[in-house]
């Protein structure tokens, strides 16, 4: 079990910086990965994607596929540093208009959380 940290890190995104984003879950299998089935049952399948580039900061990405909807429901990025980044994908809809505020962090909503600005 990992210790939970009450912190948020604010950083600028560099689209060519090599960081993995949840948006890439949908197409990453197409190039630069080998894959295998980790588990499979009637409702879900877990697929492990391993990058062929051994210099990446992560060694595996595990995607959970909901077999009923045939959609990715979750993903976990296993970094070489020991950090695991877990994402849950809910209510997927293409081309949905979204407000900018949806992508910002409001510290007032999370008292006691330390904000670390890395910009």
Residue 76 lies in a domain: yes
Q: What is the pLDDT at residue 15?
A: 63
Contact 24, 12 (CB under 8 A): no
- Number of domains the chain is built from: 1
Residue 2 placed within a domain: no
pLDDT for residue 16 is more than 70: no
**Verdict on whether the full-model pTM lies above 0.85:** no
Write out pLDDT tens, residues 85-106: 898 988 877 788 888 888 777 8
SS (H, E, C) the chain: CCCCCCEEEECCCCCCCCCCCHHHHHCHHHCCEEEEEEEECCCEEEEEEEECCCCCCEEEEEEEEECCCCEEEEEEEEECCCCEEEEECCCCCCCCCCCHHHHCCCHHHCCCCEEEECC
Which domain does 23 fall in, by range?
Answer: 7-90+97-117
Assess whether pLDDT exceeds 90 at residue 59: yes
**Domain assignment of residue 41, yes or no:** yes
Residue 43: inside a domain, yes or no? yes
pLDDT score for 49: 94
Given this model, what pLDDT does residue 6 score? 83
pLDDT in tens, 76-88: 999 999 989 898 9
Band (30; pLDDT cuts 50, 70, 90)? confident
Does residue 1 belong to any structural domain of this protein? Answer: no
Instruction: Please tell me the total number of residues recorded for the chain in this structure.
Output: 119
Any domain includes 56: yes
Residue 34 CA to chain centroid, in angstroms? 18
């Amino acid at each position: 079990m990992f210790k939970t940290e009450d912190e948020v890190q604010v950083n600028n995104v560099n689209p060519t910086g090599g960081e993995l984003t949840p948006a890439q879950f949908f197409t990453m299998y197409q190039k630069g990965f080998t894959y295998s089935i980790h588990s499979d049952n009637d409702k879900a399948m877990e697929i492990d994607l391993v990058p062929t580039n051994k210099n990446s900061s992560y060694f595996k990405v595990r995607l959970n596929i909901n077999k009923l909807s045939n959609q990715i429901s979750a993903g976990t990025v296993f970094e070489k540093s020991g950090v695991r980044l877990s994402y849950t994908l809910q209510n997927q809809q293409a081309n949905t208009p979204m407000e900018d505020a949806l992508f910002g962090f409001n510290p007032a909503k999370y008292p006691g959380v330390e904000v670390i600005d890395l910009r």
